Amino acid sequence: MRDVERSPARRDATPSSPARRARQSRETVERSSDGEKRREFDDDDDDDEHSDDDLGDGTRDAYVIPPAMCRPLVYTSWFPLAPACVAMARSARDARARGLAALSAALVASSLGHWRGPRWDGPRRTFDLCVVWASVGYGCWLATTMDWAHARGWWCGMPIAFAAYAANETAFRRELRAWRRDGATRERKRYVYRRTTWTHLVGVHAGSSVAASWLAHGIAASRDRD
């Protein structure tokens, strides 16, 4: 009877075989790996939730658009280099071309600074808007120094770009007011952010760069004519 009662203890004290130790080691590694994967998955979810909570309420201290979703606007901030290169390649000695190139370079810098982390009340957004309006004013003056054949690209293209900007901005602000009042789903927020980003990309970044490139060609043409 004593031997029977002591047998479990003896079995527990018996050293495990090498095969059993190897199996336990593999199970330990697998549990550790699964735990790491679960923690990484939870961290990713936390990042997504944080981005939506921090960026999706439309308050003045939040981002205009989440940086990860407005990244195409960072890439297309280089578009103003196109008219600058055209102007300097064809009319480098013309003061009008140098002015266009300088403003285009400033526009690239201000746009990159803003869209890398667009804040509603940040100084980079204020600087970007100032450079944009200075460029528009210079372009309007520049268009008056050439005939209609070379200025029409600007006078026809910029109203379209401005209309796209105004309509996009109005629709976006209306959505933000609705979010603050009624809330919105993650899917709705992502849709609005993408729509706003791509409308601004096509209507403003691409449209204004095409119009400015037309002006750059006009500088060279009007210089040849004179």
Measured distance CA(5)–CA(190) in Å, rounded: 68
- Between 38 and 151, the more confident residue is 151
The tokens describing 103, both together, are 């403003």
* Residue-level pLDDT at 203: 95
At residue 110, the pLDDT reads 96
Residue from 125, 111, 119, 122 nearest 72 by CA: 111
pLDDT of residue 29: 52
Half-sphere exposure of residue 35: CA atoms within 13 angstroms, side-chain side: 6
Please enumerate, as own/partner, the contacts of 90-94 that have beta carbons within 8 Å and a separation of 24 or more: 90/216, 90/217, 90/219, 90/220, 91/216, 91/219, 91/220, 91/223, 94/219, 94/220, 94/223
Give residue 1's pLDDT.
45
Q: What is the pLDDT of residue 90?
A: 81
Gap between the Cα atoms of 47 and 53, Å rounded: 10
* Between 35 and 121, the higher pLDDT residue: 121
Q: What Cα–Cα distance (Å) separates residue 33 from each residue in 20, 30, 40, 45?
A: 20, 5, 11, 19
